[in-house]
Homo-oligomer: A and B are copies of this chain.
Amino acid sequence: MPAREFLMIPGPTPVPDAVLSAIARHPIGHRTVDFSKALREVVDELKLLGESTGDLFVLTSSGTGAMEAAIANTVSPGDAVLSLVQGVFSERWAKITEAYGGKVQRLTVDPGKAIDASAVKDVLKADTAKKIRAVTITHNETSTGVLNDLEKIAAAVAAHGAVSIVDAVSSFGACPVSIDKWGVDILVTGSQKALMLPPGLAFVFVNSCGWEAQSHCTSPRFYFDFAKYKKSLDADTTPFTPNVSLVAGLKASLDLIRQEGTQAVFARHERLKSILRAGLVELGLTLFVTDANASPTITAVLPPEGLTVDSIRKALKSKYSIVVADGQESLKGKIFRIGHMGNVFERDILMTLAALKAVLTELGHKC
């Protein structure tokens, strides 16, 4: 009997049994009092987790759908948008914006590096005509494992007056995100990362500056139209048939987060990151990101000289049923990425390190 595949990838992530059980229950009708109650509960709980008193919409889509929603509701053709680019997912913001006719100015740093808030401030200060309407920000760049200082970046954007649009897909629920206090205008996240669900739901927080931008936006939208979600949520429902099973699962996963305690969840992610990074260094491997910018949810590492990423990933999968991720696009084959978000514990990190040590040794690396 092969061991069940263990996902040490940046989503889907391991799903707790209580969540799987909730999802396995027969779906309820979405136009019922019971569903409205469940929806209201998860919305309120997510707002607590994101420290937001604004709006929070539940979309039936993947995280990219929520990113498109953010752009389609705020960026009109011709709008100038500053995109902070440092990898695949931050570049995705730029691509979606361009698909909607936005004029994108990229502030690019090398993959593996963090965005410097003062550089953002400088670019925005130079925009004395206030042409930049929005700034796209990636809190945690999943393709490299870099966590940016969102608080400082959002403050720089707020000082300028542009709308801050944040991808927190792989950070939300794993580390503090303080939407109101940091002045974040729009923030999106997804179900299949630290929220410990299968993929299929995405979430968009919208604060008052986000609504202001939305009110002027001429881009076409229907399924992702914030106004429709707002009208429906005011009646404790959704404009279109939602994934009711995942909403039930979300209720279960948010219960688990509340039981552990939000601060304890964040501390656990910090601890896992530190244990993993120390262990990888001990194996003689080179980390792709400095300690100061290291993500609490995903760690990228270079293969030892002479070994390929492919051979390491294949051996981990075939011998230990542990799945780690390859690099993406230009980093494919150059790094591998170990996810440690959500339903992951110390023992899983120790297991992964031990399996990696065995694999590397067998492949000829001297650990």
Contacts and interface: CB of A to CB of B under 8 A. Distances in A.
Place the interface of chain A in its size category: 35 or more
Contacts of A219: 220
Contacts of A64: 222-223, 240-241
Contacts of A30: 12, 199
A5 B20 contact: no
B24 A244 contact: no
B24 A222 contact: no
A307 to B, nearest CB: 21
A199 B101 CA distance: 32
B323 A243 contact: no
A221 interface: yes
Contacts of A68: 222-223
A243 B21 contact: no
A347 interface: no
Contacts of A23: 23-24, 245
Nearest to A7: B29
B223 A31 contact: no
Chain A interface SS verdict (over half): loop
How many copies of this chain are found per oligomer? 2
Contact of A15 (B26, B32, B101): B26
A95 interface: yes
A325 interface: yes
Contacts of A72: 220
A4 B26 contact: yes
Given A101-B220, A242-B62, A246-B200, A24 B20 contact: yes
A192 B241 contact: yes
Contact of A240 (B15, B65, B244, B323): B65
A173 interface: no
Nearest to A101: B220
B21 A24 contact: yes
Nearest to A96: B222
A112 interface: no
Nearest to A248: B198
A214 to B, nearest CB: 14
A64 B4 CA distance: 35
16 contacts: A9-B29, A12-B27, A12-B241, A14-B26, A23-B24, A27-B198, A60-B199, A61-B65, A64-B240, A65-B223, A99-B220, A192-B241, A200-B246, A219-B220, A243-B243, A243-B246
